[in-house]
Chain A
Amino acid sequence: MNDHETTEPGQDGQGAALVPAASHDHETLPASLVTDPDHFANPGLPPHVHRAADDYPAAAKRAERQVATMFGLSMLFTLVFLVSYFAIPDEATFFFPGIGLAKTQNVVLGLSLGFAIFLIGIGAVHWAKTLMSDVEMVEERHAQASTPEQRAKAVTTVSEGVASTQVNRRPLIKYSLGGALGLFALPLGLQVAGSLGPVNVEELKHTIWDPKDNGGKPIRLMRDPEMTPIRLDEVTNGSVFHVMPETLQKYIDEGKGVLEAKAKAAVILMRLDPDLITVPKAKDWGVDGVLAYSKICTHVGCAVGLYEQQTHHLLCPCHQSTFDVTQDCKVIFGPARRPLPQLKIIVDDAGYLVAPQGFMEPVGPSFWERAR
Chain B
Amino acid sequence: MSTIHESRPADALRAGDRQADERASAQKPLGGIAGWMDDRLGAAKGVSFLAKKVFPDHWSFMLGEIAMYSMIICLLTGAFLTFWFVPSASPVVYDGSYVPLQGVTMSDAYRSTLGISFDIRGGLLIRQIHHWAALIFVVSVFVHMARVFFTGAFRKPREINWVFGTILSMLAAIEGFAGYSLPDDLLSGTGIRAMNGFVQSVPIIGSYMAYFIFGGAFPGEAIIPRLYSAHVLLIPAILVGLFTAHILLVFVHKHTQFPGPGRTNRNVVGYPLLPVYIAKAGGFFFIVFGVIALISAVVTINPIWAYGPYDPSAITAGSQPDWYMGFADGALRLLPGWLEFETFGFTWSMNIFPGSILLLPIMWGIIGAYPFVEAWVTGDKREHHLLDRPRNAPTRTAIGVAGISMYLVLFLAAGNDIMAIKLHLSINDITQVLRLLFFVAPVVTFWITKRICLSLQRADRQKVLHGRETGTIWRYADGRFEEIHAPLTPEERWPLVQHESLAPLQLSVTKDANGVDNPVSRKQRRRARFSHFYFNDRVAPPTPAELEAEHHAHEHVAAPTGEHEAIEAAGAAQERETIKADKHRG
Contact A368–B336 (Cβ < 8 Å) = no
A residues 49-101 near B (Cβ < 8 Å) are 49-50, 52-57, 59-61, 85, 90, 96, 99
In the complex, whether B315 has a CB less than 8 A from a CB of chain A is yes
Cα A176 to Cα B284 in complex, Å, equals 54
Smallest distance from the beta carbon of B156 to chain A beta carbons, Å? Answer: 8
Cα A367 to Cα B208 in complex, Å, equals 10
Find chain B residues with CB under 8 A from A21 CB.
Answer: 503-506
B residues 461-502 near A (Cβ < 8 Å) are 490-491, 493-494, 497-498, 500-502
Which one of B220, B290, B351 lies within 8 Å of A119 (CB-CB)?
Answer: B290
Contact B417–A7 (Cβ < 8 Å) = no
Contact B518–A125 (Cβ < 8 Å) = no
Cα A301 to Cα B210 in complex, Å, equals 13
Find chain A residues with CB under 8 A from B345 CB.
Answer: 369, 371-372
Find chain B residues with CB under 8 A from A26 CB.
Answer: 265, 498, 500
Which one of A242, A295, A300 lies within 8 Å of B193 (CB-CB)?
Answer: A300
Contact B381–A117 (Cβ < 8 Å) = no
Find chain A residues with CB under 8 A from B349 CB.
Answer: 337, 365-366
Which one of B1, B279, B315, B332 lies within 8 Å of A140 (CB-CB)?
Answer: B1
Find chain B residues with CB under 8 A from A105 CB.
Answer: 121-122
Cα A18 to Cα B509 in complex, Å, equals 9
Q: A3-B383, A38-B545, A40-B497 are in contact. Are A262 and B271 (CB under 8 A)?
A: no
Find chain A residues with CB under 8 A from B318 CB.
Answer: 317
Contact B265–A44 (Cβ < 8 Å) = no
Contact B283–A120 (Cβ < 8 Å) = yes
Cα A21 to Cα B210 in complex, Å, equals 55
Chain A 17-44 near chain B by CB (<8 Å), digits 1 or 0: 1111111101101000010111110111
Find chain A residues with CB under 8 A from B521 CB.
Answer: 14
Contact A118–B286 (Cβ < 8 Å) = yes
Contact B211–A60 (Cβ < 8 Å) = no
In the complex, whether B385 has a CB less than 8 A from a CB of chain A is yes
Which one of B2, B267, B332, B545 lies within 8 Å of A335 (CB-CB)?
Answer: B332
Smallest distance from the beta carbon of B515 to chain A beta carbons, Å? Answer: 15
Which of A180-188, A230-238, A285-293, A318-326 contacts its partner?
Answer: A318-326
In the complex, whether B3 has a CB less than 8 A from a CB of chain A is yes
Which one of B196, B263, B383 lies within 8 Å of A301 (CB-CB)?
Answer: B196
Q: A317-B315, A320-B416 are in contact. Are A141 and B125 (CB under 8 A)?
A: no
Q: A141-B385, A262-B312 are in contact. Are A124 and B280 (CB under 8 A)?
A: yes
A contact residues, total (Cβ < 8 Å): 134
Contact B264–A42 (Cβ < 8 Å) = yes
Contact B218–A260 (Cβ < 8 Å) = yes
Find chain B residues with CB under 8 A from A90 CB.
Answer: 121
Find chain B residues with CB under 8 A from A17 CB.
Answer: 508
Which one of B197, B272, B314, B319 lies within 8 Å of A299 (CB-CB)?
Answer: B197
Cα A305 to Cα B319 in complex, Å, equals 13
Which of A108-116, A159-167, A211-219 contacts its partner?
Answer: A108-116
Find chain A residues with CB under 8 A from B208 CB.
Answer: 199, 201
Could you list some 30 contacts between A and B, CB below 8 A? A14-B520, A18-B531, A53-B10, A103-B124, A109-B297, A115-B294, A118-B290, A120-B286, A121-B287, A124-B282, A125-B280, A125-B283, A136-B262, A137-B3, A197-B212, A198-B216, A259-B310, A296-B312, A299-B352, A302-B190, A302-B194, A317-B315, A318-B315, A320-B417, A335-B332, A365-B197, A367-B201, A368-B204, A368-B207, A370-B347
